Structure 1
């Protein structure tokens, strides 16, 4: 089974690898980094789709499905589980969704192995240490372990939330690696003063993503059914103690009782209130960053996705949590992180350029 799963992951990874190879000899490493970044973003969105369709336990073991490499080969066991509980966590559709997520994750793992190998093999040509690419490979292994624990620990919220945040960290690292391998560009030294505000904005966004992940993993999206009030109140009754107890089963308190609705309201309300802080700060930051053309389109895209993120977040409430809007909201958070990490990198370079010359980044050839 493990051999078969490895072959599936390798075959999927060969598609982007082949694309990079046939696109010419220049900048292959850089292109592979950005393709891996794009696929990681897609994987995050597909992971949210898996979670939002309740498919996380579509195959209740790991890494295969009832000990087999595909749901097709495990169809007998899946059909038996579905017959016992037709609306339960195991159905053929959910099994395929869960296993497709695992296949895509293995393909990204193969791409990261390739990047780490090339980073060591071509380190002189790339003129950069290979430690970031190596660290990302280690990180994806840790991410895989949390993916396994997500299943074996029955979607425990802190495990699922950590799995999400590690995916965001992996995406951030790939963005940094891609930015480092981009062709040299002119930087406005004046934009260097935005480096600290960019760091603060990124930190606020990370906190908000973690809060959003806590909402999603606890299925607290509909704990407040109206907007701008929450269940008709500005400050509703809330249970912060049970809502923000980290180590507990899904839907349960630490003592094993069913979690009260007030705890879910607390989770939702905190995420909603902090969203206003993040929207205000990042909106202000994007308006300032627009003054520096050398930062490219990132500030304008940041404003655009802030607006889209607000719309998808509101639609989750007023339209009763539609799947498309929920997945788009998760993907929008990842895109906002992508843009902020990119801006942190560029403002950092601009600050450095104000004091010391920036060494040219070689065009990577592999």
Structure 2
């Protein structure tokens, strides 16, 4: 049967390639036009990023974060920093699962995008909750950096800011603020009952107001706010480690967190640059913008997957507890495993 192309202007998501009984269905924005070589390359990269590389990263990330969640809850690692990293592992698990559901799965099974149930899930749960979880993950990392900064550079204030209850309060406050800033994402899509596609933009979703909000609030304000303070605190901690003698266990935990924090900041930068470029120069071509957006999403899930590697490589106490999880070490807690009062403030 001849190739059949169906076009719609009601969705930002571009898609091509589903074949049913030798009929190829192609749905994309903007209006029907000859696809450029650039868009064809971006479609191929989108499929590779989402259905191959993305799935591999998700599987490894879910495994790593599950192990991290188990290990950071161990008695020998119970500290204020450990509470932040425990919550970070939990949130990163949510990021990875939602990425698979809203990005990888539709690329693996394209006809899923025509399911009404999937349209409702994507509009009200998948898309907004992914951005919410990614934002919480980013700011949880900022919180962990702040916690280490207090312990290393302002130890006299540790009892005020690093108590267990205060950590939980900060995490709840961060989650609430992140939810507030992601409310527009819950208003971006709506299930579609009038045409073949399962979800479409709302009036707000396709408005210039939403584009300005994403760029100025998300990309400019929140991302810069999550970038500059951690850089400042990390540089102060590096200087303090060189000039001041602190307990060895504190120094090891701080150095490990520095690796994690700098890696997070680097990946944040790599994800923001293409996003800002696209919003400046390609926002008028929605199809190209959406295909290239897959790279930014891949960077987000990589950031949510790599922390366990740094925990294992640069923090021997975490590595030791991880071996105990796999039965490679006995369960006896050595003297060096017991957290100090400074590390774990009740």
TM-score (norm. length: structure 2): 0.41
Q: Give the number of the structure whose residues are more often strand, by fraction.
A: 2
TM-score (norm. length: structure 1): 0.39
